[in-house]
Structure 1
């Protein structure tokens, strides 16, 4: 009877010890942060590349992208009217036009901000800007088209 009690005690201690080890192992894995998949780095040829966005009822957008050392170093975004002429950004400042009473989106600022974000992130794939959704969406397409020409 004594031997049976001793075996039961050893068995219970072993089960208890294994459960602690199991909890400790699960605890370690559950607190580890998942790693995000790495985005493959795209190599670009140095140079200056242009790309165009699609034409739409208000005109179109285009972009000039400069690559140095395989990285995007400068982006110029342009908004063109229906005749293909670059707009006067001083009219597009988010203020009400005194002649027409219409409020034009602040493309003067938006195009600079968007280009900076693209350079910082080294991609055309950045958020569009509310209030100028069509233009900013088309700038992304224009930069994407320019970068396609720059791929090694």
Structure 2
């Protein structure tokens, strides 16, 4: 009987040890959750025609608004990314979203600028 109890205790300890790395993980991992509330500016020098600047609002630890405050993107091409991408990022609570078709450089620069702002919000 003593050996059975030792095995049981060993199994419990092993189970707990396996669960320890999972502590702190959640469904929100990789999202905006945990950012400090406020408004943060971000910049990317990699727009198709130079710098793209954004203002990102965080409320309740989540991205609630993104405004592209300045850009030199081509009207009808890069400007589509300026119009569409902020909404996609807010909806996903992440910059890990698809770029706008035909505006990959502009999309990448907007994501880079948003990531710059989010870095400041940590």
TM-score category (smaller protein)? 0.5 to 0.7
Runs of 4+ in 1 over 6 A off after TM superposition: none
Rounded Cα–Cα distance in structure 1 between residues aligned with 2:70 and 2:37: 25
Structure 2: which 5+ runs fail to align? 1-25
Q: Which has the higher strand share?
A: 2
Rounded Cα–Cα distance in structure 1 between residues aligned with 2:104 and 2:62: 27
TM-score by length of 2: 0.67
Structure 1: which 5+ runs fail to align? 1-36, 82-86, 95-104
Q: Which has the larger radius of gyration?
A: 1
Q: Note the 1:1-152 alignment, pairs <5 A.
A: 38-40=27-29, 41=31, 42-55=33-46, 58-81=49-72, 92=75, 94=76, 105=77, 107=79, 109-151=80-122
Rounded Cα–Cα distance in structure 2 between residues aligned with 1:57 and 1:132: 9
How many residue pairs end up in the alignment?
95
Structure 1's 80 and 39: CA in aligned 2 closer, same or farther, altered over 3 A?
same
Once the two structures are TM-superposed, the CA of residue 125 in structure 1 deviates from its matched residue by: 1.8
SS in 2 for 1:127: coil
